[in-house]
A and B are shown apart, each in its own frame.
Chain A
Amino acid sequence: MKAILQLKEINFHWHRKDPPLFPSLNLTVPKEKATALLGPNGTGKTTIMDMALGWRHPQGGQIELDGRDIQQWNPRKRGQFMALVPQDETIYFDYSVLEYILLGRAPYLPPLGSPGSEDKQIAEEALKEAGIIHLANRKVSRLSGGERQLVLLARALTQQPQLLLLDEPASHLDLHNREKILKILEKLNRKGISLFFSSHDPELVMRLADHAILLKEGSVIHAGDSRDVLNERNLTELYNVPVRIARVEDRRVLVWGD
């Protein structure tokens, strides 16, 4: 199993005097797989995403992107290799969807450059991929929550990345939009794009992930093939509530609580 991203013996704390959020964290994201980072709220999933992105620096340990220390990556090359789909984003100005998506071409442009017709074509392809080409000229401020999430995904695709980081990709979407984004992510993964997404929703992870990493109290408690890792015992241990897994047709569904 070849790794696209590795966090090795990560020591991270917010303030020097505080106990560490991660005393010594190790995790591996395999290449060309869909990997889920699953854990209860407040366990530091977003912080891990930020460190994977090279945006937040741990006090100790090493982060390797495609076998190279993330700090040694040229920012533009890093932007061509890895893209982020944030949970949401504050947008202060009223861009059209196409203008907004084109920002994803930044890693390919020189400092004095601006997007040309080829970039526009790539952006339109990304909009088609995300199924929102009809929104190209709509203002971002007038989109629904589900449409916004798809726009954020399309912008990341405009970066033509090999690794896509997704921070809680479907956490505030309705069932229709959840299904839509899930299908798109499955398709991208089949095309060979590695996915690394955080979630607190085991059912989403069961649907999408090949590989699952279970995070609790600053450590990885279980990691491996998602079919093996996502069992009743591990999920009960993760959430501190009794969890049962039932089968409905060929799907596994979760039943929790006493």
Chain B
Amino acid sequence: MSSKRAVIIKNLILLFLLIALAGGSLLLGRYPHPGFLNPGDLATDPIARNIVMNLRLPRIITAIILGSTLALAGLVFQTILGNPLVEPGFLGVSQGAAFGAALVIILNIKNPLAVPLAAGLFALIALILTWSLARFIRYGGWIIRLILAGIIISALFSSGLGILKYLADPLSQLQEITFWMMGGLSGVGWQELKYILPLTLPPLILIVIMRWRLNLLSMGDRTAHALGISPILEKNFFLLIAVIATATVVAYCGIIGWIGLIIPHIARRLAGSDTGKSVPAALLSGGIFAIISDDIARTVTTGEIPLGILTSLAGALIFTVLMICTPLRKHA
């Protein structure tokens, strides 16, 4: 049993961890030598100050936003779809974004904003197509139709992506597409954060404020209706804001797998299934997971390990441990 006080203490520990990790990560890197920077150097070394303030700080903030967004969107999707095995890319968003990014790379458009803009645009197009197709499907309830339509649209964009990869110049464009799809935060600075924050913070804040209502949406639609709410309307609202936030982070950071799947499981184990308690836990755990992954990505080698590879590796291992230690149903 997770009593209210125990959950608050756990969430405070997570918050402390997140702040400590963010602070530590600011000092962690390969300048002037691999390891931690002496905080005293910030006052005397302008290069160090520049690296911390203009490279690491926006990157760490983005990592927190990325992890929190994917984790919270994952929790929203799993709760609303009544399925602990879904993640935010389910409605065609990830494949749509990948297609958009690949298209810009193939068309050789060199504007730095082109890739995230196209990725975000095609993520939204995929979402609109999924939504529209679901309205025409004559099988099952609304959520089943959404999932079916999401599978179809994902497959369509996936084949489109395949065609673009086939057409790409294997020596330059194909590599660029592959690297974008593996995800990473190396290209994110204050300039990019200016676009990321307004599209991710409002959805995150809304989900946190309205978190208790998500419980109602995990019930069947008939029960939710009997409890005095409009289930379809509210489900659509939550899905839409979760997908907008997800599309934004995918557009700038590429496809980062597994965070949206495993962090909600960890959050439910830490805080219980009540979304009033699990939402803050998911928000904080997602940020922590992303910071640690990004720290490893940028410091372990002289180059940079794509973030998506690390999150998939860590995610698969953690998920295996979670599933072996306890049956899925119990902590779902």
Contacts and interface: CB of A to CB of B under 8 A. Distances in A.
Question: Are the chains A and B members of one assembly?
Answer: yes
A55 to B, nearest CB: 5
A27 to B, nearest CB: 20
A112 interface: yes
Given A95-B273, A141-B329, A90 B227 contact: no
B245 interface: no
Contacts of A40: none
B223 interface: yes
Given A96-B1, A103-B216, A55 B226 contact: yes
A94 B331 contact: yes
Interface stretch (A74-82, A143-151, A205-213, A237-245): A74-82
A92 B223 contact: no
Interface string A62-96: 00000000000001111110111010011111111
B273 to A, nearest CB: 4
Contact of B210 (A76, A78, A96, A112): A112
19 contacts: A54-B225, A79-B228, A92-B83, A92-B218, A92-B332, A93-B268, A93-B332, A94-B330, A95-B273, A96-B1, A99-B273, A99-B274, A103-B215, A106-B228, A107-B228, A113-B212, A114-B211, A114-B276, A141-B330
Interface residues of B, number: 33
B220 interface: yes
B84 interface: yes
Contacts of A84: 222-223, 226
Interface of B: 1, 79, 82-84, 209-213, 215-216, 218-223, 225-230, 268, 272-274, 276, 329-332
Contacts of B222: 50, 53, 55, 84, 86
A92 B78 CA distance: 10
Contacts of A95: 215, 272-274
Interface in A15-68: 50, 53-55
Given A90-B220, A94-B273, A53 B227 contact: no
Interface of A: 50, 53-55, 75-80, 82-84, 86, 89-96, 99, 103-104, 106-107, 109, 111-115, 137, 141, 159, 165
Nearest to A76: B228
B272 A99 contact: yes
A137 B331 CA distance: 16
Contacts of B210: 111-112
A125 B220 CA distance: 25
Contacts of A50: 222
